Each structure stands twice: as C-alpha cells, then as structure tokens.
Amino acid sequence: TIHEVLLSLDGVEATYNHAIRALSGVSLTVRTGEIVALLGANGAGKTTALKALSGLLPAERGQIAAGSIVYDGEDATRRSPAELVRAGLVQVLEGRHCFRSLTVEDNLIVGGQVRGLDRAALRSELERIYALFPRLRERRRTPAGLTSGGEQQMTAIGRALMARPRLLVLDEPSMGLAPLVVEGIFAALKRLNREEGLSILVAEQNSTVALRHADRASVLETGRTVLDGSAADLRERDDIKAFYLGFG
C-alpha cells in the first residue's frame, strides 16, 4: 500500500537533563513515498524532534517524557539509533557531519558498513551515489574536510543513502549553503523520492525551499506543532510564513 503510515509522532514531549522542556507536543506523520518538511524558527525544536525519532536523545541526556513515536508499525520511543538504522530509518545530522580526514569515498563506504556489503555490492552502491551526485565522483579521493560545504552535505547524504534507508531524515540540509547548491541538493532528494519512492522527512528553517519540494509540512513553534498541511496550501499562506517562520 502506497500511503501506509511509515512514521508517526503523537503528542511527543521531550526534556534535556529531566529539566529543560524542549518539546511540549509534537505530532507529525510521514506516509510511505512522501516528502514531509518540518519547519520552524531557530530553536523551535526541530533538531530535538528529529533526535527523538531517531533514538539519539539519550546520547545528549535527553529523554522522551510523553507521547508516542511509531516507526513502521512498531514503538520507536525506546529503540536504539543502530536498531532504527537497520530498520531503515537513517538520519543526516545537522552540520553535515563527515569524517574530515577520510576521503569522500571512504565516508560513503562507512555508511555501507551497516549492511555488510561485499566488494561488488559496495562498488555498485558507490556508483549509485556518484550517479546522483556526479561532483562526489570527482572528489572521491579528497579528504572530506577539504571539500566545500555543499560537497560535505552531499557526502553526508550519500553516506546515509549507502545504508539504503526507507525513511531518510535530514536536519537543515540547506544550512550555510548558497542557493544554487541548496537547489541541487533538494533536486537530488526529489529524484530519489520520485524514482525510488524514498520517504523523506526534512527539517528546515528555509521554508521557501522546503515547501517547494515537500508534499506536506508541519510547523513547530516553541516545541509544539502549530500547523500541519499540504505544502501547496502552506505555500500560499504568506501570513503563516511571516508569523511562524520569521520572514514574510
């Protein structure tokens, strides 16, 4: 079934150090084959929400205090990040974390290791990434730390794709990148979605770009979901942008 619910968050609350309330009611749904944007101003809780659903909060002394997270029909509130990755939920962290001293290609190979691929399979997976991001093929022998911000973001996305996700989660892929580079990255995401049916959840402060590529969007304000709708509807609502997203 094409529209089955792949991920749902319902009334999720989260705290750091049992004290700081970072999320006070986040609800969102990603159906199979959808691109969903999680929007909100700086500090609204986007990163915390993504970490909560990827099992990454405990590593930061954060915890889910209430609500439910269901991924692929199973409770995900207590599953480890590694377990979720094996189940196909793979997150590209904010700030395009690459292993800076490893080459671009070795960064990609690290991403494939969760699947225990043999040499031939690894090669064909690498070819798949290079077909999507031709620039990475040119840069494959270069230490990731010496490549541009856009190339590092592509490397981080490519590494996540090497794990063959069913749901790719991205935290502000546009951050610090030039508009043309951002367009290229979103175009690649759209292509993966169209051609392979990859489901995508992307947190963005850049609502204009995100709404142009997403099917639906959820808006967070101070840790709470305040709006949810089709991207087409939200695109038309200038008042929403001005009020919740901090620019008009």
Q: How far is the CB of 24 from ligand ATP (least distance, A)?
A: 10
Q: How far is the CB of 206 from ligand ATP (least distance, A)?
A: 11
Compare residues 9 and 44 and give the one whose CB is closer to ligand ATP. 44
CB of 92 closer than 8 Å to CB of 45: no
Compare residues 88 and 149 and give the one whose CB is closer to ligand ATP. 149
The residue count for binding ligand ATP (CB under 6 A) is: 14
Restricting to residues 90-109, name those near ligand ATP by CB under 6 A.
94
Q: How far is the CB of 118 from ligand ATP (least distance, A)?
A: 38
243 contacts ligand ATP (rule: CB under 6 A): no
The neighbour count for residue 92, using CB atoms within 10 Å, is: 24
Compare residues 24 and 103 and give the one whose CB is closer to ligand ATP. 24
25 contacts ligand ATP (rule: CB under 6 A): no
Compare residues 43 and 134 and give the one whose CB is closer to ligand ATP. 43
Compare residues 153 and 205 and give the one whose CB is closer to ligand ATP. 205
Residue 89 CA to its chain's centroid (Å): 10
Restricting to residues 45-84, name those near ligand ATP by CB under 6 A.
45-48, 60
- For residue 196, CA distances in Å to 32, 34, 87, 136, 232 come to 11, 11, 17, 20, 23
Which segment (37-45, 71-79, 188-196, 206-214) binds ligand ATP by CB under 6 A?
37-45
Restricting to residues 153-212, name those near ligand ATP by CB under 6 A.
205
Compare residues 32 and 222 and give the one whose CB is closer to ligand ATP. 222
9, 22, 84, 104: which one contacts ligand ATP (CB under 6 A)?
A: 22
Q: Which residues contact 232 (CB under 8 A, 6 or more apart)?
A: none
3-state secondary structure 16-62: ECCCEEEEEEEEEEEECCCEEEEECCCCCCHHHHHHHHCCCCHHHCE
Q: Which residues contact 184 (CB under 8 A, 6 or more apart)?
A: 150
Burial letters for 105-138: b for 16+ Cβ neighbours within 10 Å, e otherwise?
A: bebbbebbeeeebeeeebeebbeebbebbebbee
Q: How far is the CB of 43 from ligand ATP (least distance, A)?
A: 5
Q: Quick one: CA dihedral 157, 45, 30, 56, positive or negative?
A: positive
42 contacts ligand ATP (rule: CB under 6 A): yes
Q: How far apart are CA 171 and CA 160, in angstroms?
A: 12
* Binding-site ranges for ligand ATP (CB under 6 A): 16, 20, 22, 40, 42-48, 60, 94, 205
